[in-house]
Amino acid sequence: MSSIKGLEVALTDLQSSWNNVRHRTEEISSNRLLVRRGQAFNITLFFRNRAFQPGLDNIIFVTETGPLPDLPKGTRAVFSLASHRGPSPWIASLQAIGANSLEVSLCAPPVAAVGRYLLKVHIKSLQGPVTAYQLGEFILLFNPWCPEDAVYLESEPQRQEYVMNDYGFIYQGNKNWILPCPWNYGQFEENIIDICLELLDKSLNFQIDPATDCALRGSPVYISRVVCAMINSNDDSGVLNGNWGENYSDGTSPTEWMGSVAILKQWHATGCQPVRYGQCWVFAAVMCTVMRCLGIPTRVITNFDSGHDTDGNLIIDEYYDNTGRILENKKKDTVWNFHVWNECWMARNDLPPGFGGWQVLDATPQETSNGLYCCGPASVRAIKEGEVDLNYDTAFAFSMVNADCMAWLVFGGKEQKLHQDTNTVGNFISTKSIQSDERDDITEDYKYAEGSLQERQVFLKALEKLKAGRSPGSLRAEWRPRSVPLSDSPRSLATPSLQPSNVVQVSLKFQLLDLPDMGQDIRFVLLALNMSTQFKDLKVNLSAQSLLHDGSPLLPFWQDTAFITLSPEEAKTYPCKIPYSQYSQYLSTDKLIRISALGEEKSSPEKILVNKIITLAYPSIVINVLGAAIVNQPLSIQVVFSNPLSEQVEDCVLTVEGSGLFRRQQRVLIGVLKPHHKASLTLQTIPFKSGQRQIQANLRSNKFKDIKGYRNIYIDFGL
């Protein structure tokens, strides 16, 4: 009897197209295998010489990831097709035996490291040598659809929004005027997954110890910290350079970007040179793209009046001079007009029960954490409960939404505390709604209602923990809080803090008369109300100055003094106007103007401070879709834009993008636009993905950088 030949593999079909649809990765690719952990995928082996015989042939699969695959570390797995469960958490099971083929189902454990894998097979027949074959490569991702995965999210609409949606809005402006800014996340665009994996390999952790780094890539807590540090370039060859100044001439102004794809592709194309320039929303948007691409549910959060408390006493000091202008801060404690970070959804097995779910991750380089510029993951629930000693960086995140503001008048070398309406930090915390373009206010996820007993108790608990413990890792190492007498913090008193009106019995307030449109004069009034039964003589110093996005002030460009006499219980308005010709050359790229009034009353030493931040608005770009939008069919898109200024602008460039519609960013050089000139342009494209999509457009010139517009569009599948 002739001996039976060993089984020889002739061909492998990784069934990429079929598997990717089931693993919800078909938008990334249909011709290479991308699967999620904890979910089976099928492959077919074709044999050269005979059929597979179950009793005779033993097939053993090997998967390897990283440069130093290792069984004990979990970066190498060996598992056989035998029906009994072996020691490996990876599973292989028989699906079907053909004349010369074998269909097998493979499944990675829900805790496996994510990344690029090599799939090999060893075949042992009764006689003959062991033969080994390399079957191919696949990429393994997190699986929010798998209940055993640490990133499991129960709600399908939430998974569609926070993993699958490739566009969204980032909220900007100020708390009185919240502006949605369209953004192209593009996490499924060509090569973005490869750039995300390259980003993990460029991290300091991988450079120092690649074997351990790859072994830890199954943990969303670990991955999120690595990505967070890699988005900024403060420690490594990260993706973005931050710039909060005024000069972006050697790069792109942060306000000009409208998508992550162009940024990630530029980083990759230049051999991982940091891209210039980012500010908070750009860091957060790029991080959202990377995390959604890897399969971790992620959303972008805006916090209006965001605290940056550098000394950890939960008090942010602001200094004013006697004209009411804000001074450059010695301590660098500031209130950012708005600040943007991410929330990622994950279990926190490293924390006590109850602190899983949404976690704050802030990729903007503000402070270091364990020596690196990254912040988080900090449990949102821990922030709400004041558990500031829980990992990671919860104290810093707490201060961004909870610090108190203290205003000081600097005069003749002395500092006098000013009475000011409790200017609370952390307002209108916002994110895009699920499957709609509306804004969701999630402030109550972060804190109890302002002024409630619970809120005060949490604030005191956090303050006590900050003073008591300096446990490594959970707090910023450099913080040296000065001890704060409890009476110093308005919230720690049993009684509400004294409002200015209680002392001076006069209330001041600014009111805009029309929308502050760029190119128009700014018209507003100061409202003064006497709440007492005496006459009041007021002297009010008014000033206006531009602010940078991080709260740092530029020099005042407008000043006025008002003398207002009020009869008992009388209200008066004082009209003000700042002409365009006066503010135009002083405006920062953030288009923020802060108007302030410092009032004093003849018979009282107390001073009243009131201020308002104005964000100047541009008219939007209008985008019209001409005709039916069908996948793989030509489509015309009309873009209508104008110069809002009463002066000529030059070097105009129109940029248009949209995932699934344009394979790359479209840039059109427009050149000169005359004052108030309106123009339109028609672009041709062929949509290559169906479903709900968004087109984003930006117009920049030598006078403005970010006139934006967007249009949502549904691309039909066609025939």
Active-site annotation, residues: 280, 339, 362
With beta carbons less than 8 A apart as the criterion, state whether 283 and 230 touch. Answer: no
DSSP output for 179-217: EEEEEE--TTSTTHHHHHHHHHHTSHHHHH-HHHHHHGG
Concatenating the DSSP letter of every residue in 449-510 gives PTT-HHHHHHHHHHHHHHHH---TTTS-TT--PPP--GGGSGGGSSSPPPPHHHHH-EEEEE
Whether omega before 277 lies within 30 degrees of 0, making that bond cis, reads yes
- Which among 229, 227, 340 has a CA at the least distance from the CA of 284? 340
Q: Contact 185/259 with Cβ under 8 angstroms?
A: yes
User: Nearest 5 degrees, angle CA 215-CA 216-CA 219?
Assistant: 135
Residue 498's alpha-carbon distances to 419, 489, 502, 599, in angstroms, are: 8, 12, 6, 17
List own/partner pairs for 234-238 with CB under 8 A and 24 or more apart. Answer: 234/365, 234/373, 235/204, 235/372, 235/373, 236/202, 236/203, 236/204, 237/202, 237/272, 237/273, 237/274, 238/202, 238/274
Q: Which residue has the tokens 């000009």?
A: 256
Q: Which single residue is written with the structure tokens 């809080």? A: 481
Residue 2: CB atoms within 10 Å: 4
Which 3 state secondary structure label does DSSP give 101?
strand
Q: How far is the C-alpha of 467 from the C-alpha of 462, rounded, in Å?
A: 9
Q: Strands 40-47 and 101-107, how do they pair?
A: antiparallel
What are the angstrom distances between the C-alpha of 16 and each of 23, 120, 177, 378?
10, 16, 47, 37
Q: At a CB cut-off of 8 Å and minimum separation 6, what does 60 contact?
A: 78, 79, 80, 81, 121, 122, 123, 124
